[in-house]
Amino acid sequence: MQTRNKTYQYRPPTPSSRRFAKNDSGFVCMNCGELVAPLLTSSRDHCTKCLCSLHCDINPGDRANSCHGILFPIGIERDSKKGIVIIYHCDTCHEYHRCRSAPDDNYDEIVRLASRNK
Ligand SMILES: [Zn+2]
Ligand SMILES: [Zn+2]
Give residue limits of the domains in the chain. Answer: 21-116
d(CA 108, ligand 1 centre) in Å: 13
| Mean pLDDT of all residues in 26-47 | 86
d(CA 54, ligand 2 centre) in Å: 8
Give the number of other CB atoms < 10 A from CB of residue 39.
18
Q: What is the pLDDT of residues 71-108, one digit of tens each?
A: 999 999 999 998 999 999 999 999 999 989 998 999 99
Nearest ligand (C-alpha, residue 33): 1
d(CA 85, ligand 2 centre) in Å: 18
**CA pair distance 38, 27, nearest whole angstrom:** 8
Q: What is the pTM of this model?
A: 0.73
Confidence grade of residue 26 (pLDDT, cut at 50, 70, 90): confident
**CA pair distance 107, 85, nearest whole angstrom:** 13
| Mean pLDDT of all residues in 113-118 | 80
Q: What pLDDT was estimated at residue 11?
A: 57
**CA pair distance 63, 79, nearest whole angstrom:** 24
d(CA 10, ligand 2 centre) in Å: 35
